[in-house]
Amino acid sequence: MAEPKIQITLQDPADFITSVNPEAKREEARVIDALFRKVTGEQPRMWGPTIIGYGEYRTTYASGRDVHWMRAGFSPRKAKHSLYLMGGYCDELAGQQRDELLKRLGKHSTGKSCLYINKLADVDMSVLEEMIASDWEAMKRRFPQ
């Protein structure tokens, strides 16, 4: 079976954040990192060259594919921050909570398992913290190892 494209690297997340441009995204990345650290209690690790992840889990899909991935994370992209919050997609309770929280979050968009935020001023940070916490708990329930 092929190795996954995105794996844990030895790059220091703080060094990566220092390289983020523009400066406004860099400063927001520091805020998001602090929020994830506070909620998860985890030290971040780099997943590939641009994703900062917190915690990790392993599972095997019904297809037989083995997965090793972060429990939560984000990537400070030039256009939008991408937050990887998978718990709301694999846990029914967290999905219901996510839907309610998204109504109160502020300006955002979503993808398959991502939350996209252009700038932090567009969202309610206390709601974002609730979302990360709900997602984190869902991932611990779904993948306790």
2 has a pLDDT exceeding 70: no
61 has a pLDDT exceeding 90: no
**pLDDT at residue 3, rounded to an integer:** 60
The count of C-alpha atoms lying within 13 angstroms of the C-alpha of 56, restricted to the half-sphere facing its C-beta, is: 15
More confident position, 5 or 68: 68
pLDDT digits (tens, 9 = 90+) for 100-140: 999 999 999 998 889 999 999 999 999 999 999 999 999 99
1 has a pLDDT exceeding 60: no
The secondary structure of the chain in percent helix, strand, coil, rounded to multiples of 5, reads 45, 25, 30
More confident position, 68 or 50: 50
**Pairwise CA distance, residues 54 & 46, whole Å:** 9
pTM of the model: 0.92
**pLDDT at residue 74, rounded to an integer:** 98
Q: Is 2 exposed, middle or buried (0-12, 13-18, 19+ CB in 10 A)?
A: exposed
**pLDDT at residue 103, rounded to an integer:** 97
85 has a pLDDT exceeding 70: yes
Q: Which of 7-11, 23-27, 65-69, 107-111 has the lowest mean pLDDT?
A: 65-69
Q: Is 67 exposed, middle or buried (0-12, 13-18, 19+ CB in 10 A)?
A: exposed
Q: For a pLDDT cut of 90, what percent of the chain falls above it?
A: 73
